[in-house]
Amino acid sequence: MPVTPVIFDCFYENAYNGVHDFDTHTFKCAFTNTTPTAASDAQLTDITEITAGNGYAAGGVTLDNVSVTRTGSTAKVTIDDEVITASGGSIGPFEHFVIYNDTATGDPLVCYITRAEGTTTLSDGESITLDFNATNGVITHGAAA
């Protein structure tokens, strides 16, 4: 699946202002076939989400075990992998996965990941694994040297 996540410009300001609580908030992953704009997109309504149905729910997939760990002055956000299966028809087309905070007001955006393989449509019975890099984390933030 992914390459390097693109952090939305609004993310760090929101994080520093206490908008995101990775211990208690629910984070989701919405699918889109329109490239997000990191500089100006700030909430889920700024994203053109794919049509819900056939195993894909409006608002996307709830992400499991979103957590923050710290080593020295570097913190990283990790997320368990998720598997989505088309059932009763196709899902897509889609190319980008947008992670956002479903608990905070306005569903603020965190980051997006573009499929290295490009645009795809899942046929009935076909699955995709959202492989969030457990080693490096979805987001890694550390003090400047």
144 located within any domain: no
Residue 12 lies in a domain: yes
pTM of the full predicted structure? 0.93
Reported as half-sphere exposure (CB side, CA atoms, 13 A), residue 125 has a value of 0
- Cβ atoms 56, 141 nearer than 8 A: no
Q: pLDDT tens for residues 109-145?
A: 999 999 988 999 999 999 999 988 888 889 888 865 5
Number of independent structural domains in the chain:
1
In a domain, 143, yes or no: no
In a domain, 140, yes or no: no
In a domain, 102, yes or no: yes
Provide the domain limits for residue 17: 6-135
The residues pairing with 77 across neighbouring beta strands, listed in sequence order, are: 68, 139
The Cα 85–Cα 129 span in angstroms is 9
The per-residue pLDDT for range 59-118, each reduced to its tens digit, is: 999 999 999 999 999 899 999 999 999 999 999 999 999 999 999 999 999 999 999 889
Statement: residue 3 has pLDDT above 80 = no
Q: Is residue 141 part of a domain?
A: no
